[in-house]
Amino acid sequence: MGSLKLIHTHTLANGLKVSIYDLTRVYFGDYHHVKLKIICSLDHDATDWQQHCPESVDLRSISYSRILEKMGVSSEEIDSVRKSLLGDFTRNSLPYIASADFPGKLIRNKLSCKKSFVRKYQGSGS
């Protein structure tokens, strides 16, 4: 099993801290499972997050994570695959995560309670 290794951390202008971890491991022989974990968490030094949360909420528990991975990568291709995965993430996902309204959406999403309900079978009419 590969070990968790922090390869980069960056704080965005909207106050989110983006951490990138490498979980790459040997798959079979010279083939690897390149796996990166992206974790976006609230910058806990910023005091304006509390306006979105009740006092009872621990802001450290609110985060967004994403796994980027590719199987069957030979040793000499690991760095280029890692750069490709991060490049795709930077082009496609990071602009959305870096938007000014994403932290508020993240907080509201994590705090919303999903309502469960029971639906009775309406098949026979009896």
Q: What domain range includes position 49?
A: 5-111
Task: Look at residue 116 and tell me if it is in a domain.
Answer: no
- Residue 58's pLDDT is 65
- Distance CA(45)–CA(27), nearest Å, equals 40
Residue 90 lies in a domain: yes
User: Helices (DSSP H) in 20-124: which residue ranges?
Assistant: 78-92, 94-97, 102-111
Q: Is 72 left (phi over 0), alpha (psi -120 to 50) or beta?
A: left
Residue 121: inside a domain: no
Query: Which 8-state DSSP code applies to residue 123?
Result: S
> Does the residue 119 lie in any domain?
no
pLDDT tens-digit readout, 67-84 = 999 999 999 999 999 999
Closest CA to 102 of 15, 30, 5, 21: 15
The answer to whether residue 120 is domain-embedded is: no
The domain that holds 104 is classified in CATH as: 3.30.380
How many distinct structural domains can be found in the chain?
A: 1
Residue 85, domain member (yes or no):
yes
Point out the residues of the chain with pLDDT beneath 70.
Answer: 1-3, 43-60, 113-126
Q: Assess if residue 101 is contained within a domain.
A: yes
